A and B are shown apart, each in its own frame.
Chain A
């Protein structure tokens, strides 16, 4: 649907107003990161300074939280890439008993509210006497990261012709060669996009994490603690700005990698 006529004025205002509503709060984060006000959220900021960026860079607790978040996101994304791709290949390429069940199972962790995933994992850990560790966080994150990778990979597998694989085999390539030289180059960008989105999602996750982290602090948990009991507002402002930059870059990159008309998992998280 596309029209060459001009939009009615009312519609134009409503749409642009909506756009401002969507973007202004994020822009505000960037202003507050440089404010000189320390105790309140005063607007307009009384002055601008870059001092708090330096202070934040020197904070050990922020770095530790960041390191844990990056570690968890990296492991979860790797696990999700392996399992998501395998499942996508099986679901897209063959019909087998339980195929529908598996494609429903993969969507479930995203369809149910995060709090349900969180509390059920937590109660399972306590029933089985599993102590909290990095791996309990990873267990929760990988569960929903798989969906993202799966959605991206399954769309690409459906578009890639199966004849390519047969042709490679007929020409004498063995299974490993076929995978490395034919399948992988075909699905690489979809995996990269899915992997980046999964990484961003894991890096940002807080609801499931509060249930599976025990007393470890990932960056979102650090933010949550600051939100509930503010200790140093300027540092929080700078961290918030950094997090926006870190999560937005992969999204823009994923957009450029898959924008040739393909539906990415990003559209429904």
Chain B
């Protein structure tokens, strides 16, 4: 019967057109299909990106000849030894302290914003809080730094605000303090700190808010029914439940501060941070091995940090 023939040929006759035929062939070979799909990314990231990273790591084991300034391509730990010189060690410690301070301040500032947005905001307020976090997150990084140059300038809005509130003495007092002070806010550590805090704050708010959204409201009501004061229910119920979110956020604030070299270059005094040290070593100084050794520092610190964060369950809050 001809009916059977058509069914048979409907299944087995190859489709017309070379493109369709090729696609059909690929789909019939699932392994080949997957291989073709992941081939571009493997070539791009696996070879270009990982290759470049490995090349960089290898260079950190080379050293530079101090007289000729030429890179000596022999395996040595000498360059890592240079990291321990007081001047370089200062750079590392300064950067880590700044990253720690920014992370703690971001957590303190983010919590009320995230808590209010998660628990009380609705309708218009919810949208406003969403925009309030997303706008600074996605605005241009340089424009944010620039905005803070405007805010912190000696003739700028912050000085004006302090004068209007008759608090100029407070600002002057702050600037006259040893380490954190300076000639004006825009050339002090306080200024650098404020800009870092501003730029990375949204990265803290988002995971904290995500972890707070998951806390059942009934849990807090139960705590207060059982006689907990607001302080107690914060300390014993809310904070432990928000902790994974805070740790997840701290990964961003900490890592981003460690690697940044533009903020301290534009707002701050002339003392270097790790990122600036890397930039000057590879650029004007031409000491690629030392620059490479400096980049290993944040990689190692973040490795340890991520390992610790994983143990505390921070990745579930992302």
Measured CB to CB, the closest approach of chain B to A53, in angstroms, equals 16
A141 at interface by CB-CB < 8 Å = no
B: interface residue count bin: 35 or more
Nearest B-chain residue to A8, judged by Cβ: B230
B155 at interface by CB-CB < 8 Å = yes
Q: Which residues of B contact A220 (CB under 8 A)?
A: 140-142
Contacting residue for B120 out of A6, A114, A200, CB 8 A: A6
Residues B136-168 near A (CB distance < 8 A): 136-151, 153, 155-157, 159-160
Residues A40-60 near B (CB distance < 8 A): 40-44
B182 at interface by CB-CB < 8 Å = no
Nearest B-chain residue to A210, judged by Cβ: B279
Contact assessment for A206 and B139 in the assembled complex, using a CB-CB cutoff below 8 Å: no
Q: Which residues of A contact B299 (CB under 8 A)?
A: 112, 116
Contact A123-B206, Cβ < 8 Å, known A32-B150, A251-B134:
no
B223 at interface by CB-CB < 8 Å = no
Measured CB to CB, the closest approach of chain A to B74, in angstroms, equals 17
Contact assessment for A227 and B142 in the assembled complex, using a CB-CB cutoff below 8 Å: yes
A188 at interface by CB-CB < 8 Å = no
Q: Which residues of A contact B52 (CB under 8 A)?
A: 120-121, 123-124
Measured CB to CB, the closest approach of chain A to B11, in angstroms, equals 10
Q: Which residues of B contact A67 (CB under 8 A)?
A: none
Contact assessment for B259 and A114 in the assembled complex, using a CB-CB cutoff below 8 Å: yes
Contact assessment for B147 and A268 in the assembled complex, using a CB-CB cutoff below 8 Å: no
B314 at interface by CB-CB < 8 Å = no
Residues A189-235 near B (CB distance < 8 A): 197, 200, 204, 206-207, 210, 220, 223-224, 227-228
Q: Which residues of B contact A210 (CB under 8 A)?
A: 279
> For the complex, what is the distance from the CA of A119 to the CA of B59, rounded to whole Å?
12
Residues A135-192 near B (CB distance < 8 A): 139, 142-143, 146, 169, 174-176
Contact assessment for A224 and B115 in the assembled complex, using a CB-CB cutoff below 8 Å: no
Q: Which residues of B contact A12 (CB under 8 A)?
A: 116, 120
**What is the size, in residues, of chain A's interface with B at 8 Å between Cβ atoms?**
84
Contact assessment for B45 and A15 in the assembled complex, using a CB-CB cutoff below 8 Å: no
Q: Which residues of B contact A102 (CB under 8 A)?
A: 38, 41-42
Chain A proximity mask over B218-252: 1 for CB below 8 Å, otherwise 0 = 00100000000010000000000000000000001
> For the complex, what is the distance from the CA of A121 to the CA of B51, rounded to whole Å?
9
> For the complex, what is the distance from the CA of A40 to the CA of B27, rounded to whole Å?
65
> For the complex, what is the distance from the CA of A267 to the CA of B252, rounded to whole Å?
12
Contact assessment for B216 and A251 in the assembled complex, using a CB-CB cutoff below 8 Å: no
Nearest A-chain residue to B10, judged by Cβ: A172
Q: Which residues of B contact A14 (CB under 8 A)?
A: 112-113, 116
Which of B16-24, B79-87, B172-180 contacts its partner?
A: B16-24
**8 nearest A-B pairs in the assembled complex, by CB-CB distance:** A113-B259, A175-B23, A15-B116, A14-B112, A124-B52, A25-B147, A41-B153, A120-B52
